[in-house]
Structure 1
Amino acid sequence: MAQVARPTVMHVRGPERLPEELYRQLLELLADLSPVVQALPPSCALVELKGALRYHGTDAAHLGEVLRVRSISRLGVDVRVGVGPTITVAATASGQIPSPGGVLAIGPDQVADWLGPLPVEALHGIGPRQAAVLRDYGIHCIGLLADVSPATVQRLLGETAGRLATDRARGIDPRPVVPRALPASATMRHRFTHHTLDGAAVRAALLDLVVQLALMLRRRGQVAQALTLTLRFAGGTTWHKTRRLTEASAHDQDLRTLAYQLMDAAGLQRSRLTGISLKGEDLISADQVAQQISLDQARESRLVAEGTMDRIRAKFGPGSVGPASTTRFRRVS
């Protein structure tokens, strides 16, 4: 008897604005199910289940339920799990599950009948503008998109986008799940409540971003090889610049020194800022960085203090220790 084909790709959606630490822990739960996990930050991931189904001796839907139970019980986070024969089908399925969570598995023989009635914007990979163009042409569901000539869709959306849209509407998606445990970058953002001209306020916000970024990297066991500073101005314009660290690091002082150099390079005078972001680039595992023996007692003391503050934050919360306030207090006699 021929073996029935089973869906082998799982797409997991966490809640929006999932904290970085919880996202990392969710990836670790997925790694317990299968060794092939692809992180899709900030809150999604892909899992290849082909070998995992044989190992666990169960079906994909049951593994999805196991993941939900573990995620809720261990992390307090409910997830939406879509399972299908391809990445597109699995991701589309997870997008059709209402919050807070659930599991939807689509078999290979169910793809056409299930995709057909869905609105065209529900197809994973179709953006709002592309959906609007297709609807203007009368293509309002995925089944119609699959039936239309590929050449017609390419004229509407462009050659590459049109070919991909047609294939995926027909359930064709040869992309493999590529193992990727952690994102290659990390970004911290600060939005000013008012247009800001005060240089001290901008420096204080930048220092806070440095501390948050360094703490995240140390928790994830990563180091940054470069930093990108982005400034957003009133009127919608932006400025950004990237510089590499002399040595990959996740220490506050190293990141702060480079961040201040980037800020100085912006040459701000009377510019009104609305937001600022700091991005760690080319992240690598901290294990890949050689540990240089240092005779600088001041630096060693700072590293010890840094570790102490990390332990305090882990116990009492991330906001329990932070940069010193820039507020000046008037002495009362």
Structure 2
Amino acid sequence: MASLSGAARTIIHRTIIHVDLDAFYCAVEEQRDPSLRGRAFAVGARAQDRGVVASCSYPARRCGVRSAMAMGLAQRLCPHLLVVPTRHATYRAVSAQVMDLLRSFTPQLEQLSIDEAFLDVTELVANNPALTGRSLALEIQRRVFEELGLSCSLGVASNKMVAKIATDCGKASVATGHSPQALCVVEPGREAEFLAPLPVSALWGVGPKLESRLKDLGIETIGALSKWPERDLMRRFGRHGADLSQHARGIDKREIVTERESKSISSETTFVQDVQEWEHLHEALQEQAQSVAKELQEQKLQATTVKIKLRWSDFSFSTRQTTLLSSTDAAPVIEEAATALLTRLWVGAEPVRLLGVGVSGLSTVRQLGLFDDNPDRDITTHEEPPTPKVIAHTEAEIGAHERRHQRLREAVALLEARFGSDVVHLGARKNERSL
């Protein structure tokens, strides 16, 4: 975007804010029951019900408890762990309040999940010289806390991908066991420099298999990836290589997709009786993914976003979505992305009345899909999909998770050494004027 004033030409960079509510389910439960504050507890189904951890408090994280961990393992790591049942209707109601508050800043909002959203505040910043991405982010953080009693972490950058990674870096800079309430700002023009020391796994679409293949080529950091010629990456990874090259240089041209703008194709199943078995749910999901893919192919369309919807036995809804790195019309890709979402949204043994799979971000432009020329390529989503039917992290996976976060923390330390300690800060500690 650019504006002309006389002979002078001013470049207006996009300003994108990524908002991520900190331990959202737990924060809502602490509001309901203040006695939970400061205690180690997890939200989810009980171990005897084959439950997994949907969310856990920061004191529980000090004991090694993590989301998506089997509840039995969580209780072994933290013997005094309290287990609080999920209340999906309550979480959805509070999430709606948060999104309404965010829309009071700008209607240009893209909700990623129940606790996460992007805002495009480019026009606000361009039309008011007193505003910056940082000041708006701090105001969002203040209002979410003061009006709704919730902590959130934010990333600010010139595009969605870098803003999301900035949030992750902000959270990683905070000691485990404490609510982050972090804010990380990446100034325009410094995207590649910011990303350079981070592990390649920080990029969207780089899951364990692709990370391993990149390491085999001697590529462990985003900076190392950015030095590879795009044509070489395309030769090895097909069209996906072009996306890798651009993302490694901090380039992401995707626009905010508001709910009103989003066109979609979906398939839903309402069960005669509430379902509590993974096998039954996954079978329905597979059929829906195939149905959605068939309709995409018939309409000669491809999609970049996969979404699932669950209606619980109390008739409340929960949704989760993820964005693919490359558009697709392939049933295996849609199924794998939807399966990854289901394993994170369904915490085990909770009765499900309805399951739906949908896609959005539709286009008629043909791009190589993930399986077009390389069948063993990773699925390219925000979230790394676990193997179907495995719905809890093992001790080995937890170790890998910790190593990855340790690498991210080390990279954040390098960023602070390079850019100064203000590259990442805790919003609550920053004394800046509110709007």
Q: TM-score, structure 1 length as denominator? A: 0.56
Q: Distance in 2 between matches of 1:36 and 1:234?
A: 37
- Give the one of 22, 33, 45 matched to 1:15: 22
Aligned to 1:82: 155
- 2:83 maps to none
SS at match of 1:40: strand
Q: In structure 2, how many angstroms separate the alpha carbons of the residues matched to 1:90 and 1:13?
A: 11
2: CA distance, partners of 1:59 / 1:227: 46
State the distance in 1 between where 2:140 and 2:250 align: 25
Structure 2 counterpart SS, 1:240:
helix
Matching residue's letter, 1:240? A
Amino acid at match of 1:49: V
Q: Relative to structure 2, which stretch is displaced further, 39-48 or 119-128?
A: 119-128
CA distance in 1: counterparts of 2:103 and 2:261, whole angstroms: 12
Q: Quick one: structure 1 residues 11 and 252, their matched pair in 2 at CA, closer, same or farther if it must change by over 3 Å?
A: closer
- Letter of the 1:13 partner, please give it: D
Local SS of the residue matching 2:189: helix
The Cα shift of 1:93 comes to 0.8
Give the secondary-structure state (helix, strand or coil) at the position aligned to 1:171.
coil
Residue type at the aligned position of 2:104? D
Shift of 1:79: 1.2
For 2:278 and 2:116, locate their aligned partners in 1 and report how far apart those are by CA, in whole Å: 32
Counterpart selection for 2:102 from 30, 40, 44: 30
2:209 counterpart letter in structure 1: R
Where do residues 89-100 of structure 1 align in structure 2 (5 Å cutoff)? 89-98=162-171, 99-100=179-180
Mapped partners of 1:79, 1:252: distance in 2:
27
What secondary structure sits across from 2:242 in the alignment? helix
Q: Distance in 2 between matches of 1:72 and 1:281?
A: 33
User: What is the number of equivalent residue pairs in this alignment?
Assistant: 221
TM-superposition CA deviations, 1:277-304 (whole Å, max 9, x none): 3336599xxxxxxxxxxxxxxxxxxxxx
Correspondences of 1:128-277 after superposition (within 5 Å): 128-156=208-236, 158-180=237-259, 227-229=269-271, 231=275, 233=277, 238-240=282-284, 276-277=351-352
In structure 2, runs of 5+ residues without a counterpart are 1-7, 26-90, 172-178, 289-310, 317-347, 359-435
Report the RMSD for the aligned CA atoms in angstroms: 3.9
Aligned to 1:117: 197
Residues 252/64 of structure 1: CA separation in 2 closer, same or farther (3 Å cut): closer
Q: 1:129 to 1:76 in 2, by over 3 A?
A: farther
Identical pairs, percent: 23
Is 1:70 the equivalent of 2:134? Answer: no
TM-superposition CA deviations, 1:101-145 (whole Å, max 9, x none) = 221111222112111111111223432332232123211111111
- Whole-angstrom distance in 2 between the partners of 1:240 and 1:160: 31
Distance 1:234 1:58, change over 3 A: closer
Structure 1 unaligned regions, length at least 5? 186-223, 244-250, 257-272, 284-333
In structure 2, C-alpha distance between the alignment counterparts of 1:130 and 1:228, rounded to whole Å:
36
Give CA deviations for 1:177-221 in whole Å, capped at 9, x if unaligned. Answer: 111279999xxxxxxxxxxxxxxxxxxxxxxxxxxxxxxxxxxxx
Q: When the two structures are superposed, what TM-score results if normalisation uses the length of structure 2?
A: 0.44
- The one-letter code sitting in structure 1 at the alignment partner of 2:248 is A
CA contact (8 A) 1:233 1:274 kept: yes
CA distance 1:69–1:125, change in 2 (3 Å): farther
Q: Give yes or no for contact 2:153–2:170 (8 Å, CA) kept in 1.
A: yes
CA distance in 1, matches of 2:100, 2:192: 33
- Per the alignment, do residues 125 and 62 of structure 1 end up closer, same or farther by CA in structure 2, a change over 3 Å counting? farther
Q: After superposition, give the CA deviation of every residue in 1:35-77 in whole Å (9 maximum; x if it has no partner).
A: 2111101321111111122455410100000011111112221
